[in-house]
Amino acid sequence: MTLLETTGLTLGYHGQAVVRGLHLSVDEGEIVALLGANGAGKTTTLLGLSGLVAAMSGDVLLDGRSLASVAPDERVRRGLAHVPEDRALFADLTVLENLQLGQHSRRRSVDDALDRCPELRPLLSRRAGLLSGGEQQMLAMARALAGKPRLLLVDEMSLGLAPLIVQRLLDMLDELAHASGCAVLLVEQHVQQALAVADRGYVLNRGEIALHGTVPVLRERSAQLEATYLGESVGGH
């Protein structure tokens, strides 16, 4: 079932469009990768879905219903959770306090989130600012999960993290989507890592979708995929 859909969504800043005419969709239980080079418009797209950047034209539909006039906090209540690029944790608060501050987190759902991220249990009373980068990313993810999202938007979670912890986080998303039915829209610059867990993907090039399809289709067209990265290697990492 289609959970989220954008219809010709155009987003930008100060009247200047940076993402144009976006048509994308995410189904329940599926991981969709949103790929593209620096500045392609990935973060802007997620901000548009969360309602933090207003649409210049086009619309965002959740369950087929327009979110045009729905404020960011109400979008969260309807099941959208956003793990932003900078993680947005409260450095001076403890891990537990950060989890409890997640919108609509109940004790039970904090517990459920910790079941998915058991590494955080021994760290509950530690200040978030003292966690390692990987632990902070896991906390950001757990805080989003504590809101029991139906759609998780994840921006560049692998930035600056060691491959092992990235794999751990990807496995978590894999289970969240494919076993628990949550929809995930995953922004990544590391193409291979994203495609290893994703079902489908969209490649943004300068604010427009240059390529989209299932993961096997994207792999088949890796030459074109590579070209949209203007020389960035998609072979390794």
Ligand X SMILES: Nc1ncnc2c1ncn2[C@@H]1O[C@H](COP(=O)(O)OP(=O)(O)OP(=O)(O)O)[C@@H](O)[C@H]1O
Contact residues toward Mg ion (CB under 5 A) are 42-43
Q: Which is nearer to ligand X, 18 or 131 (CB)?
A: 18
Q: Which is nearer to ligand X, 12 or 102 (CB)?
A: 12
- Taking the complex as a whole, the smallest distance from the CB of residue 97 to ligand X amounts, in Å, to 28
- Choose from ligand X, Mg ion, none: what does 6 bind? Cβ within 5-8 Å by kind: none
Question: Within 68-87, which residues bind ligand X (CB under 6 A)?
Answer: none
CA distance 220 to 7: 27
Residue 78: which residues within 8 A CB-CB, separation 6 or more? 62, 67, 70, 150
Asked if 18 touches ligand X (CB under 6 A), the answer is yes
Question: Within 32-71, which residues bind ligand X (CB under 6 A)?
Answer: 36, 38-44
Q: Which is nearer to ligand X, 7 or 205 (CB)?
A: 205
Partners of 127 in the β-ladder? 94
Cα–Cα distances in Å, from 209 out to 21, 107, 162, 225? Answer: 9, 41, 30, 11
Which one among 189, 190, 194, 198 touches ligand X, defined by CB under 6 A? 189
Label residues 147-179 b or e (16+ Cβ within 10 Å = b): bbbbbbbbbbbbeebeeebbebbbebbeebbee
- Choose from Mg ion, ligand X, none: what does 25 bind? Cβ within 5-8 Å by kind: none
Longest dimension (CA), the chain: 48
Q: Which is nearer to ligand X, 74 or 232 (CB)?
A: 232
Q: Are 186 and 19 in contact (CB under 8 A)?
A: no
Q: Which is nearer to Mg ion, 39 or 216 (CB)?
A: 39
Which one among 13, 77, 107, 220 touches ligand X, defined by CB under 6 A? 13
The footprint of ligand X (CB under 6 A) covers 13, 18, 36, 38-44, 189
